[in-house]
Structure 1
Amino acid sequence: MNSPNIDAINRIQTLQLNGLTPRERLDEALEALPSPGSQLSEAQQATPTAGELVEPIQRINDVMRERGIEFDISEDSSRVITRVIDRDSGDVIRQIPAEEVLRIAEQLQDMRGQFVSLEA
């Protein structure tokens, strides 16, 4: 069973192969989205695992690498990391979320449950 994210990527690639203009592809993609206020199925509400994101991220990276944008999955927290790369030198210009933010989030995750007072 494909995740909704993989289905959306496949739909976009199919639209690109049909020779549609960018505006037509946008209109088709917007029509495929659920309407506001509609109920999502359980499969659509489920958060994808890091393993489910590997293939779509690799495909996105193949397309975006030439523009200096790279996506990755954090091994510790399974967060998607976006990097803007200098195409000439290969240096990271900006990373979102920043390394510091990832470290803080990891420390907060480790400390979760330690802030609860046992006395009322």
Structure 2
Amino acid sequence: MESAKPAAQLELPVQAVKPAAEAPDVDQVKQATERINKTIQTLSRNLEFTVDEESQENVVKVVDKDTGEVIRQMPSEETLRIANALDQLQGLIIKQKA
């Protein structure tokens, strides 16, 4: 019976692994989502990328082309509201401790 051989390790070239750059500012993210939307619209008019104003979370929506109705959203509106409420609660807790 043959013994199991170890799997070969994946080696990446040094230039493929770069340190993370500074986080983009809000305007850069908005411009990027606008470019993504323009590109997606040429392929499929029912996908929409946005950034939630309160949480600054990326949001993807599947929209009915004919009615404009949002069919699906990720993260959901409910999830965004819960995250916002938790952020506010955390702020209150910190204020009470200070």
Do the two structures share a fold, i.e. TM-score over 0.5?
Answer: yes
Q: Which runs of 5+ in 1 are unaligned?
A: 1-33
**What does residue 8 of structure 2 align with?**
none
Matches within 5 A, 1:8-47: 35=16, 38-41=17-20, 44=21, 46-47=22-23
Residue 79 of structure 1: which of 30, 54, 57 is its match? 57
Q: TM-score by structure 2 length?
A: 0.69
Q: State yes or no: 1:101 paired with 2:79.
A: yes
Structure showing the higher helix proportion among its residues: 1
Q: TM-score by structure 1 length?
A: 0.57
Structure-2 separation of matches of 1:94 and 1:102:
14
Q: Which runs of 5+ in 2 are unaligned?
A: 1-14
Q: Give a deviation string over 1:50-105, Cα, whole Å, max 9, x none.
A: 21111111111112135110011111111111100111221111011000000000
Of the two, which has the highest radius of gyration?
2
**What does residue 70 of structure 1 align with?**
48
Q: Give a deviation string over 1:24-54, Cα, whole Å, max 9, x none.
A: xxxxxxxxxx63xx3515xx2x222221111
**What does residue 27 of structure 2 align with?**
51
Q: Check 1:89–1:52 CA distance in 2 against 1; reply closer, same or farther (3 A cut).
A: same
What percentage of aligned pairs have identical amino acids? 32
Runs of 4+ in 1 over 6 A off after TM superposition: none
Query: Could you say what secondary structure the match of 1:112 adopts?
Result: helix
